[in-house]
């Protein structure tokens, strides 16, 4: 689906940031933020909101962990998301589309669909909400809001589905430190919190 025709879930910036936008990773008032998204969301053409900061596109973002290892992915040249090519990511995520509402919860259902599109995983999938990500540092990042979930896997049997677009492996935080400067900004924020022990371990 092209960006011109894709409908993506959004909320008005003033609804999700009534006191002004914050920058970084927040882990408080999560249920309140989720309630705003559930009650005030709507769909707009992605092409219309990509450059309009008065709307926040909601992006479920799944961090996968098995014991002390985390899934680190690397977008390859064939990736459809040109702005993220060659970058490393600690999360699997993407836009929420109208079809994701069929089971009743746009965030959880969008999260699960995006996860199943990106990876093959045969273990238990219990996504725990741990935070929200907002990056005010660039025009591109300002129009997206990450809803971050942690999945503690009971097996390391996880693989990338579209290996021409994405590569990935399980690494400890120490092992992936060398890729830090190549990570997208959201992943750097998550990594920093994990490295400081400020997220669930």
CATH classification at residue 26: 3.90.79.10
Residue 201 in any domain: the answer is no
Residue 1 in any domain: the answer is no
Nearest to 149 by CA among 129, 176, 135: 129
**What pLDDT, in 10s, does the model give residues 138-176?**
888 899 999 999 999 999 999 999 898 899 999 999 999
Residue 42 in any domain: the answer is yes
Please compute the mean of the pLDDT values over residues 39-59 and round it to a whole number: 94
Verdict on whether the full-model pTM lies above 0.85: yes
Residue 72 in any domain: the answer is yes
**Cα separation of 164 and 76, whole Å?**
7
- 53-57, 102-106, 120-124, 186-190 — which is least confidently predicted? 102-106
What total of structural domains would you count in the chain?
1
Angstrom distances, CA of residue 28 to CA of 25, 55, 71, 129, 130: 10, 22, 25, 11, 9
Residue 133 in any domain: the answer is yes
Residue 125 in any domain: the answer is yes
Q: Which domain holds residue 22?
A: 7-195
Residue 200 in any domain: the answer is no
**Cα separation of 130 and 115, whole Å?**
17
Residue 2 in any domain: the answer is no
Mean pLDDT of the chain: 89
Residue 79: is its pLDDT beyond 50?
no
């Amino acid at each position: 689906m092209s960006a011109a025709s894709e409908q993506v879930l959004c909320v008005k910036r003033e609804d999700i940031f009534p006191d002004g936008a914050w920058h970084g990773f927040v882990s408080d008032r999560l249920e309140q933020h989720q309630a705003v998204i559930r009650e005030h969301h709507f769909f707009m053409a992605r092409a219309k909101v990509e450059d309009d900061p008065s709307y926040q596109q909601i992006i479920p973002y799944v961090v996968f962990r098995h014991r002390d290892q985390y899934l680190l992915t690397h977008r390859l040249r064939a990736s459809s998301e040109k702005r993220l090519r060659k970058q490393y990511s600690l999360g699997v995520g993407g836009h929420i589309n109208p079809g994701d509402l069929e089971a009743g919860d746009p965030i959880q259902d969008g999260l699960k669909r995006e996860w199943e599109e990106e990876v093959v995983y045969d273990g238990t999938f219990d996504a725990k909400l741990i935070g929200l990500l907002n990056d005010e540092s660039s025009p591109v990042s300002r129009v997206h809001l990450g809803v971050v979930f942690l999945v503690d896997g009971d097996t390391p049997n996880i693989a990338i589905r579209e290996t021409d677009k994405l590569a990935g492996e399980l690494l400890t935080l120490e092992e992936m430190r060398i890729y830090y400067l190549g990570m997208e900004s959201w992943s750097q924020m998550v990594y920093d919190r994990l490295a400081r022990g400020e997220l669930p371990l």
